[in-house]
Amino acid sequence: MAISKIHLVWLLCVALAFGVAAAAVPAHGSGSGSVRCHYDFFIREANYTRLCSEKTILTVNGEFPGPTIFARKGDVVLVNVHNQGDQNVTIHWHGVDQPRNPWSDGPAYITQCPIQPGNTFTYRIIFSEEEGTLWWHAHSDFDRATVHGAIVIHPRRGAAYPFPKPHREVPIILGEWWNRDVGQMLAEALSSGGDFQPSDANTINGQPGDLFPCSSDTTFKLPVEHGKTYMLRIINAALTNEFFFAIAGHRLTVVGTDAAYTKQFTVDHVFIGPGQTKTVLLNADRGRSNHTRYYMAARPYATNPLARFDNSTTTAVLEYIDAPQATAMSDIPALPAINDSAAAEAYSVQLKSLASEEHPVDVPRLVDEHMLITIAVNEIPCTPGELCKGPRNNSLAASLNNVSFEMPSTAILGAYYTSVLLGVAKTNFPDNPAVAFNYTTDDLPLDLRFTARDTRVKVLEYGTVVEVVFQDTSILGSESHPMHLHGYSFYVVGRGAGNFDRHKDPATYNLDDPPYQNTVSVPKAGWAAIRFRAANPGVWFMHCHFERHMVWGMETVFIVKNGKAEEAKIMPPPPNMPKC
């Protein structure tokens, strides 16, 4: 997207604020907000050419990636989603807490029934404490492969960044491209019980880059000027890949993650999981060197040798437009090996909250509810008489605490709000695995491979302080997992290798300045501990952001009950909620 267009959209949004009726909205932890901007998202098919062939994809307003949403901290933004496609769809505002407003969170059959073809639904996005880089995406089937875009949240008017203002801000969206129709691919994989076909290319801002055929002319190019600083808002929108990202000849200074500021640190490469965002500063200090054009590149971090993945490198070009000549091209930047767990972990442990007077931390010290949640890819026995394509002719599944989540046929939020939850879900999601075992050994009994489907949720009293320890397992191969919680950001207070030891490992926690995130990459054959205070009433999805794991059942739901005060209760539903 051109910089001039980004600025134009922002100015239009500010102008629209004067034409949109202000609506008082109690904002979680930040008083009230008013509508500053509205957008119209038209979900429709469009033809795009990649890798020498044309295909029809689902888009917002015909754009891939989709339009950027701009806001300031504390704003309320309205988005009218008009479904002009031929399939059901929903949109999720990833990382936006939506205080007291789960009705606009978006995951299909969790907080809403999908928007059916020909219908419109208006989402009310309530920005409260978020500031920085987030993103939006479809939360129905595999639609987010092409239905996604950036969210840019600037400081409140009169406030400033906790670093010098950059010359320009540029979204860098990492994604994937399939030559096949992703909906058909999903249907075939689910019906066969087998794994999903890897993508045909990884992408930067929708383009594979000039290492791929028929891609040189459309490779994304970032024009820069010598001596100026640029803010890159990096988003991993991929369905299946974590990434290492770097720019040849340049180091990157990390200043934020998941719409929260971090203590600055400078790296040769960034590690980013699906669902995560990283805000980095790029100092354009190489414009007087022999090279005037530098590759930026991303390639996957893949930890499970049993899983199929696309190992291709996607590229874009950083180009000094004020250099004497613009012909010399750098080499591809050095990136860690595809399975370099040490590099991924070395990056992750450097993330720390800014913890300043303007951006304080509030890490809960006393925990009310402890949960240990095991993460696994599993098997489910194939239906008698059928030949499934999963391991040992079974169907692939996935689970948390050996519960493979079964999506209901109606929205859990609506059922809970109208007091008919028990007809839709059970409220006994386990706090611990049913069987304790050596989770990360490579020599596990075969019977641990099996799971069963069920719709089980966890209910929390308002204000409860929760600690969740995500524990990877080696069932069907250990691997890193990007775990995302809707409705909350959380403090990542600890992480480590091997099996979590509840007697020893809490002593290693960082309770002073842990990173504040909405998506945490759980280390391969390791664990990550998060804490949050359940002060946002509603129904909130928690799931792995590898799309195949989610559709296989690696998810659950937190239901946070209302508090006593009126401002601690779920808002009433809007009148136009979609029907199932």
Alpha helices in 243-352 (DSSP H): 341-348
Question: Does one domain contain both 193 and 323?
Answer: yes
User: How confident is the model at residue 326, as a pLDDT?
Assistant: 57
Q: Is the pLDDT of residue 181 over 60?
A: yes
Residue 576 belongs to a domain: no
- Residue 154, classed as helix, strand or coil, is strand
CA distance 484 to 557: 11
Instruction: Name 528's bridge partners.
Output: 470, 495
Question: Does one domain contain both 81 and 173?
Answer: no
Higher pLDDT pick, 72 / 23: 72
Domain containing 103 equals: 34-159
Question: Does one domain contain both 258 and 269?
Answer: yes
Question: Does one domain contain both 376 and 270?
Answer: no
Domain boundary among 140, 159, 178: 159
Residue 183 belongs to a domain: yes
List, for residues 306-354, the tens digit of each pLDDT value. 888 899 999 999 999 988 765 678 899 999 999 999 999 999 999 999 9
| Number of domains the chain is built from | 3
Residue 11 belongs to a domain: no
Residue 53 belongs to a domain: yes
Higher pLDDT pick, 20 / 579: 579
Residue 13 belongs to a domain: no
Question: Does one domain contain both 329 and 381?
Answer: no
The percentage of residues in the chain with a pLDDT greater than 70, rounded to a whole number, is 93
User: How confident is the model at residue 33, as a pLDDT?
Assistant: 57
Residues with Cβ within 8 Å of residue 109, at least 6 apart in sequence: 407, 408, 409, 410, 411, 412, 580
List, for residues 237-255, the tens digit of each pLDDT value. 999 999 999 999 999 999 9
Alpha carbon separation from 24 to 49, 60, 76, 197, 480 (Å, rounded): 45, 29, 9, 47, 42
List, for residues 454-464, the tens digit of each pLDDT value. 999 999 999 99
Mean pLDDT of 358-362: 97
The DSSP H or E segment spanning 528 is: strand 526-533
Q: Is the pLDDT of residue 13 over 80?
A: no
Residue 578 belongs to a domain: no
User: How confident is the model at residue 258, as a pLDDT?
Assistant: 98
User: How confident is the model at residue 286, as a pLDDT?
Assistant: 86
Mean pLDDT for all residues in the chain: 93
Letter for the amino acid at 10? Answer: W
The DSSP H or E segment spanning 548 is: helix 547-552
CA distance 488 to 466: 12
Domain boundary among 357, 390, 408: 357
Question: Does one domain contain both 352 and 403?
Answer: no
Mean pLDDT of 7-35: 42
List, for residues 105-152, the tens digit of each pLDDT value. 999 999 999 999 999 999 999 999 999 999 999 999 999 999 999 999
SS3 content of the chain, % helix, strand, coil (to 5): 10, 40, 50
Q: Is the pLDDT of residue 210 over 70?
A: yes
Distance of CA 381 to the CA centre of its chain: 31
Q: Is the pLDDT of residue 16 over 90?
A: no
Neighbour count for residue 521 (Cβ, 10 Å): 27
DSSP string, 498-538: SS--TTTGGGG---SS--EESEEEEPTTEEEEEEEE--S-E
CA distance 285 to 495: 35
CA distance 553 to 399: 5
155's tokens: 């400081």
DSSP string, 102-130: GGGT--BTTTBPPBPTT-EEEEEEE-SS-
Mean pLDDT of 574-580: 94
Mean pLDDT of 420-444: 96
Alpha carbon separation from 423 to 280, 311, 426, 455 (Å, rounded): 47, 44, 8, 11
Question: Does one domain contain both 96 and 205?
Answer: no
Question: Does one domain contain both 118 and 192?
Answer: no
Question: Does one domain contain both 506 and 491?
Answer: yes
User: How confident is the model at residue 14, as a pLDDT?
Assistant: 45
CATH number at residue 297: 2.60.40.420
CA distance 375 to 483: 10
CA distance 105 to 94: 8
User: How confident is the model at residue 26, as a pLDDT?
Assistant: 34
Letter for the amino acid at 151? Answer: I
Q: Is the pLDDT of residue 416 over 80?
A: yes
Question: Does one domain contain both 385 and 515?
Answer: yes
User: How confident is the model at residue 203, as a pLDDT?
Assistant: 98
CA distance 515 to 529: 11
Q: What is the pTM of this model?
A: 0.94
pLDDT band at 297 (very low <50, low <70, confident <90, very high): very high
Nearest alpha-carbon partner for 62 in 121, 147, 177: 147
Residue 12 belongs to a domain: no
Nearest alpha-carbon partner for 380 in 433, 451, 454, 444: 451
Rg of the chain over Cα atoms, rounded to whole angstroms, equals 23
User: How confident is the model at residue 378, as a pLDDT?
Assistant: 97
Q: Is the pLDDT of residue 1 over 60?
A: no
Running DSSP on this structure, what letter comes out for residue 355? -
Question: Does one domain contain both 545 and 403?
Answer: yes
Residue 240 belongs to a domain: yes
Domain boundary among 357, 386, 402: 357
Mean pLDDT of 526-548: 98
Question: Does one domain contain both 249 and 134?
Answer: no
Sign of the torsion angle spanned by Cα atoms 141, 390, 451, 381: positive
CA distance 473 to 375: 6
Nearest alpha-carbon partner for 271 in 353, 203, 336, 354: 336
Residues with Cβ within 8 Å of residue 574, at least 6 apart in sequence: 103, 104, 122, 124
List, for residues 30-77, the tens digit of each pLDDT value. 334 567 799 999 999 999 999 999 999 999 999 999 999 999 999 999
